[in-house]
Amino acid sequence: MPKKGVLATRLETDSASANPVTIGAADIYGAIVQDLGGEGETTEMQRQIAERMACVASICRLYEMRFLSADEVDTITVNTYLNAVKTLINGFRSLGHERKAKEVENISIYDYIKKSE
């Protein structure tokens, strides 16, 4: 079984000192890995990229929270935010941003309904 991502492991062992942004990063990391098929289906490279993308996504959220609470937004902050968004998009492209379908039983709809009753 592959190792958990460093980000997820760090937050599990140090959750007392984690702030909402880092907790959000762990949730994002978990969602990205799940979209890739789960921990057992991802390569080390995919987990490394997922960790970085989770951090970048958290940075984007932080900027968004600041935008929503600020009366003024400076150009440098907007440019930094837009660069983070571009980085996020490119990172997801490198991972392949499509969800992987899970294996399901090949049964008829009639049998499926009967089974679920």
Q: What is the pLDDT of residue 13?
A: 47
Shortest CA distance to 11 belongs to which of 2, 23, 3?
Answer: 23
Domain ranges of the chain: 6-116
Q: pLDDT tens for residues 37-92?
A: 888 888 898 999 999 999 999 999 888 888 888 877 788 888 999 999 999 999 98
State the pLDDT at residue 64: 87
